[in-house]
């Protein structure tokens, strides 16, 4: 999980910070596609659903 944490969860954190800092970014299609792909990659690496839940909630709004 440590490799997955570094490789996949940290980029998700960066995407979340960008969304919080940029008004309207949550509705941006490119950002949503990037976040969806990052979540899928993290899940494929074995990152737990519990860890990914906050990021998925961000996508749902």
**Do 50 and 27 contact (CB within 8 A), yes or no?**
no
* pLDDT value at residue 12: 94
Q: What are the extents of the domains in the chain?
A: 2-60
The pLDDT value recorded for residue 17 is: 95
Of the CA atoms within 13 Å of residue 7, those in its CB half-sphere come to 12
What CA–CA distance (Å, rounded) separates 54 from 16?
10
The 10s digit of each residue's pLDDT in 10-49 is: 999 999 999 999 999 999 999 999 999 999 999 999 999 9
Does pLDDT of 53 surpass 80?
Answer: yes
Average the pLDDT over 54-61 and give the result.
91
pLDDT at 1: 52
pLDDT computed for residue 61 by the predictor: 81
């Amino acid at each position: 999980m440590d490799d997955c944490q570094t490789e996949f969860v940290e980029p998700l954190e960066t995407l979340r910070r960008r969304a919080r800092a940029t008004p309207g970014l949550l509705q941006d299609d490119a950002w949503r596609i990037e976040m969806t792909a990052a979540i899928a990659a993290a899940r494929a690496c074995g990152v737990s659903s519990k860890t990914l839940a906050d990021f998925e909630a961000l996508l749902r709004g």
